[in-house]
Amino acid sequence: GNSVTQMEGPVTLSEEAFLTINCTYTATGYPSLFWYVQYPGEGLQLLLKATKADDKGSNKGFEATYRKETTSFHLEKGSVQVSDSAVYFCALGGLGGSYIPTFGRGTSLIVHP
Amino acid sequence: EPEVTQTPSHQVTQMGQEVILRCVPISNHLYFYWYRQILGQKVEFLVSFYNNEISEKSEIFDDQFSVERPDGSNFTLKIRSTKLEDSAMYFCASRGAGTRNQPQHFGDGTRLSIL
C-alpha cells in the first residue's frame, strides 16, 4: 500500500541554520506530494506541493523537489527562524481515484534564538 | 481568509459516554473530512463526506462512529460509547471542487480526553 516515511524528530537548530527534513514514499502510481505544517495549538496548513516528477514546490522560503528516481520529497530551508518551530508532515496525494492523502508521522522542528 | 472552525477546542468525557464534535467547513466547499491524531502519532484518516453521504472511510471508522451534516453549515462527528483509546486530537477538513489534488483546509482540532 501507500506509505510515507519521515525522519524522526525533534530536529533542533539555531536560528539561521540550514534545514533538511527527509521524506520518502512508497506508492503504486504517480501521486502528488505535499508538505503540511502544524503550529502549536493549530490545525494542519498546506505549506507546499508538487504534482509531478521534478516539480519544485516552494513557499515562505521552504522548498521541496519531487524526485521520482529516489521516491523522495525532502523539505529544505536555507535559514530557519524561531517562528518556523512547528511539526512538519509529508503527505502523499490521493491515488486511484481516492481523494484521501496519506500522512507521515510528522517531524518536530525546534529553532532556538 | 475563510477558515474551518471546530468546537469545542477541548472535550473531556467519561468512558462509555457519547460525544459530538462539531465543525463548520468553509462555506463553498463540497468535500468534508475527519481525521484523528493520537498523541505523538501520525494523522489518520477517518472518513470523507460528499453530497450528503460517506464517500470513503477507513478501518478505524467502525459502527461506533457516525457523521452528519444536519444543516447547510455544520458537519459533525459522533462517537458512541467512547473508549479510552478514542482520546486524540480530531481534525475536520474541507476541500472545494476541482481535481483530487486540491489541498484540504484543516480546522484547529478538538482535543478529546476520555477518562
Over residues A24-50, the pLDDT tens digits come to 999 887 888 999 999 987 888 889 999
* Chain Cα centroid distance, residue A33: 8
Q: What is the dihedral of CA A4, B101, B32, B39, to 10 degrees?
A: 20
Q: Which three cell numbers stand for residue A59?
A: 513557499
Q: Do A32 and B101 touch (CB under 8 A)?
A: yes
- pLDDT confidence of residue B64: 95
Q: Do A100 and B56 touch (CB under 8 A)?
A: yes
Residues from chain A that touch B93, judged by Cβ atoms under 8 A, are 43-44
- pLDDT tens, position by position, B11-46: 999 999 999 999 999 988 889 999 999 987 888 999
